[in-house]
A and B are shown apart, each in its own frame.
Chain A
C-alpha cells in the first residue's frame, strides 16, 4: 500500500503554479484594486483623527439602535485609543470593509442564483462547506503566491473565507419568502426580475442582513490571520505578540479586535430591523401587530 497516494496536493500546487505563471497580469490588476480600495478607506478612517471618527461612529450608533449602543460605542473606541491601537484598528476595519464589500458582491448574486436553481444550489453547497471549513491559514499560501506580501493577500483570503454565509443566508432568505406572495407577483404578470426586486429581495432582507452580519464577523476573525501575511493592523500586532510572547501587547490588540467586532455586530444586527432613531424617522405609522377582528366594520 506504500505506493497508494492520491496526488491532490501536487495537483493543487501545479494549478497554482500555472496560475502564477500565466495569469500574473490579472492578479496584479486585482492587487492594485484591493490596495487602492484599502488605501482610500484607511485614509478616510485614519485621516480625521480619532475624535471625529468616534463622534461619527456615535452618531451612527444612535441612529441605528439608540443611546445605549451609542454609549457603548464611545467607551469602546476610547478604550482602543487608550491602549494605543487606534491606527491598527482603523487599518483592520478598512481591510474588513473592503473584504466584506467584495464578499457580498460575489455571494449575494450566487445566493440569488442558488435560490432560483436547485441544481446550482446542490452544486454550490459542497463548495461552501469547503470554503468554510478549510483551515483559514491554508488560503494564505496561494494568496501569498498570487498577490505577494501585503494587504491584498489578506483581503483575498478574507473574501474567500467569509463569503459562504453570504451565499447561504441569501438563498435561505429568498427561498423562505412566502410562496403565495411570489405567486401573487406572477399572477399579476410581473416579470421574474421585478418579482426579485419588488418582492423577494425586500422580504428576504432581514435574513440577508443576518448573512451580512456573519460575513463581517468572519472577516474580522480572519483579519488576525491576515496579519501573518503582512496585512498589518491589529492582526499584525497579535502575530507580533505571539512571536515575542508579549502578553500585554497581545491582550491590548486582541481586546481592540473584540471591541470592533462587537460594534460591527450590533450595528449590522440593527439593519433590517426597526430600531433606533432612524427607524423612528422612517416610520410613517406606529406598527401594530394585530388589529382585533371587531374593528372589521370600522
Chain B
C-alpha cells in the first residue's frame, strides 16, 4: 500500500512585500506574522506536507489563511520565498522560467474559482488550450477536447461560447481543460465555491467519480469544511499562513489538534464524515449458530435483550434471533438455532452515518457493522448514533429495543424447567 509521493512541500515560506528573505529569517527565529513590519505579509509560513499519488488532498482554511497562495506556489505562479517544493521527485523551486512552463504544461494543471475560461473562444477551443500550448496538432487536440468534454458530461457543447453556459457547466469546462492537459496532478483553487449548493454537491460527486476513473492526484483548496470532509482523503487545515493539522477527515473531526480546529469542525456535518466503523461499539451480545437456544436465551436475558445477532464460528453474520423464537426452540427441544434465524441487514464499516438512520429505525437490533467479508465488527445502538452526531461520549448501555424483553421470571422458569429434565 505504499504510494509514491506526488507533491512534497518542505518548510515552505511565501512572504510578499519588501525584504521577504529577512522576514523569513525573523519568522524562523520565532516571530509571529503580526510582529513583522507592515510592509511585508507572510502568506505561507513553514508549510510541510506530502501529497500521495492518486489522493485528494484538501487544503482548508478561511480567507486570508494563505491557502490560495500555497496552491499558487505549487505550480510556481508565485515563487517560494524559502523552502522547497518537488513534483514527482523533481525540484520545482529554483527552476528556470522555461522549465517551469514546461512543468506546468506536462505535470500540473489547474482549475480556477471563477473558471477563468477564455471568453473569446469556444468551449472546445478552451478545452484544447493546454494541448495547443503543448504543440499538439489542431485536429488531434480538438478530438481530444471533444473526448474530454464527453467525460465531464458536456458532450455536444463544444461549439458554444463559455458565456452561453451556466456556472456549473463552465466549471466542467474548466475541469475538462485541466484534464485535457493530461497531467498527473490537478490543482483546484476553490473550484466549486462560486457554484450554488446543489450544483456544488453534484460537482463534488462527479469529481470523486472522475478521480476514481483517472486516478489523478488532486490538491483541492476550499474554505468549506463540509466540502473538505467530503472530498478529502486527507485534509490540511491552515490558519494565518500555517498548517495547523494534517489528517484524514475522521482524524480531524475526532481528534482536533487544537482549539481552532475543534471550533472549526464544530459546524461540520458529522453525519457525512463519520463512518460506521468510527462510532461502533463492540458487539457484547452475539451468539454463534452452534450455541443452541439455551445459550442464546441466557445471553439475551443477561444483556436484557429481546433479540441478538447470530454469527458463524468465524464471526460471519448469519442473521438474528429473537428471545421468543429461542424460547420456542427451547420448548420444542431443538438444539440448533438455524430454523429460526431471521435475516438481518448489516452495514459496511465505511458507510457514513447519514446512511445509518433508516437501518437504525427499521432494525429491531442495533445496526450491525461488518467488514468486507461480512464479519461482525461491532454494533451501533441508536443512542450511540445520536451521540456521535452530538460529538458526545457514547453511552455505555445499549438501549435499542422495539419489543420489551421477556420478563426474567418467565425465562428463568423455562430455563429451570428444561434444565431439570
Residues of chain A whose beta carbon lies under 8 Å from any beta carbon of chain B: 178, 180-181, 183-184, 186-191, 194, 198-199, 202-203, 284-285, 287-293, 295-296
Pairwise interchain contact A183-B77, C-beta atoms closer than 8 A: yes
Pairwise interchain contact B168-A189, C-beta atoms closer than 8 A: no
From B105, B114, B118, B166, A189 is in contact (CB under 8 Å) with B105
Known A203-B119, A296-B168; contact A187-B110, beta-carbon cutoff 8 A: yes
Stretch in B157-165, B207-215, B322-330, B405-413 touching the partner: B157-165
Tell me, rounded to whole Å, the shortest Cβ–Cβ distance linking A196 to chain B.
13
Pairwise interchain contact B133-A190, C-beta atoms closer than 8 A: yes
Pairwise interchain contact B120-A293, C-beta atoms closer than 8 A: no
Known A287-B161, A293-B166; contact A183-B116, beta-carbon cutoff 8 A: yes
Interface residues in B119-160 by Cβ distance below 8 A to A read 119-120, 122, 129-130, 133-134, 159-160
**Chain B, interface residues (CB within 8 Å), range:** 35 or more
Q: What are 14 inter-chain pairs, A to B, with CB distance below 8 A?
A: A180-B116, A183-B77, A184-B117, A187-B75, A188-B104, A188-B181, A189-B103, A285-B159, A285-B164, A291-B165, A292-B166, A293-B166, A293-B196, A296-B168
Give B167's nearest chain A residue, CB to CB. Answer: A293
> How many Å lie between the Cα of A138 and that of B160 in the bound state?
53
Give the 9 A-B CB pairs with smallest separation, nearest first: A189-B105, A189-B104, A184-B116, A187-B110, A180-B116, A189-B101, A188-B130, A293-B166, A181-B116
Does B113 have its Cβ within 8 Å of any Cβ on chain A? yes
Residues of chain B whose beta carbon lies under 8 Å from any beta carbon of chain A: 75, 77, 101-106, 108-110, 112-114, 116-120, 122, 129-130, 133-134, 159-161, 163-169, 177, 181, 187, 196, 199
From B110, B122, B133, B161, A194 is in contact (CB under 8 Å) with B133
Tell me, rounded to whole Å, the shortest Cβ–Cβ distance linking B419 to chain A.
67
> How many Å lie between the Cα of A181 and that of B116 in the bound state?
4
> How many Å lie between the Cα of A259 and that of B245 in the bound state?
71
Known A287-B161, A296-B166; contact A189-B116, beta-carbon cutoff 8 A: no
Pairwise interchain contact B181-A199, C-beta atoms closer than 8 A: no
Pairwise interchain contact A291-B104, C-beta atoms closer than 8 A: no
Pairwise interchain contact B159-A284, C-beta atoms closer than 8 A: yes
> How many Å lie between the Cα of A295 and that of B165 in the bound state?
9
> How many Å lie between the Cα of A290 and that of B161 in the bound state?
11
Return chain A residues, CB-CB under 8 Å to B105.
188-189
Return chain B residues, CB-CB under 8 Å to A181.
116-119
Return chain B residues, CB-CB under 8 Å to A289.
163
Return chain B residues, CB-CB under 8 Å to A184.
110, 112, 116-118
Return chain B residues, CB-CB under 8 Å to A180.
112-114, 116
Return chain B residues, CB-CB under 8 Å to A187.
75, 77, 104, 108-110, 112, 187
Pairwise interchain contact B110-A285, C-beta atoms closer than 8 A: no
Return chain B residues, CB-CB under 8 Å to A290.
163, 166
Not counting A188-B129, A203-B119, a sample of 9 additional A-B residue pairs whose C-beta atoms are within 8 angstroms of each other reads A180-B114, A183-B77, A186-B77, A202-B120, A285-B161, A287-B163, A288-B164, A292-B166, A296-B168
> How many Å lie between the Cα of A289 and that of B160 in the bound state?
12
> How many Å lie between the Cα of A87 and that of B30 in the bound state?
80
Pairwise interchain contact B166-A291, C-beta atoms closer than 8 A: yes
Return chain B residues, CB-CB under 8 Å to A183.
77, 112, 116
Tell me, rounded to whole Å, the shortest Cβ–Cβ distance linking B198 to chain A.
9
Return chain B residues, CB-CB under 8 Å to A295.
166
Pairwise interchain contact A291-B120, C-beta atoms closer than 8 A: no
Return chain A residues, CB-CB under 8 Å to B103.
189
> How many Å lie between the Cα of A194 and that of B129 in the bound state?
11
Tell me, rounded to whole Å, the shortest Cβ–Cβ distance linking A182 to chain B.
9
> How many Å lie between the Cα of A111 and that of B119 in the bound state?
22
Return chain B residues, CB-CB under 8 Å to A292.
166
> How many Å lie between the Cα of A18 and that of B113 in the bound state?
58
Pairwise interchain contact B109-A291, C-beta atoms closer than 8 A: no
Return chain A residues, CB-CB under 8 Å to B106.
189
Return chain A residues, CB-CB under 8 Å to B110.
184, 187-188
Give A188's nearest chain B residue, CB to CB. Answer: B130
Known A187-B109, A194-B133; contact A203-B120, beta-carbon cutoff 8 A: yes
Return chain B residues, CB-CB under 8 Å to A288.
163-164
Give B181's nearest chain A residue, CB to CB. Answer: A188
Return chain B residues, CB-CB under 8 Å to A293.
166-168, 196, 199
Tell me, rounded to whole Å, the shortest Cβ–Cβ distance linking B177 to chain A.
8
Give A186's nearest chain B residue, CB to CB. Answer: B77
From B77, B116, B166, B168, A178 is in contact (CB under 8 Å) with B116
Tell me, rounded to whole Å, the shortest Cβ–Cβ distance linking B129 to chain A.
6
Return chain A residues, CB-CB under 8 Å to B77.
183, 186-187
Return chain B residues, CB-CB under 8 Å to A198.
118
> How many Å lie between the Cα of A291 and that of B104 in the bound state?
32
Return chain A residues, CB-CB under 8 Å to B117.
181, 184
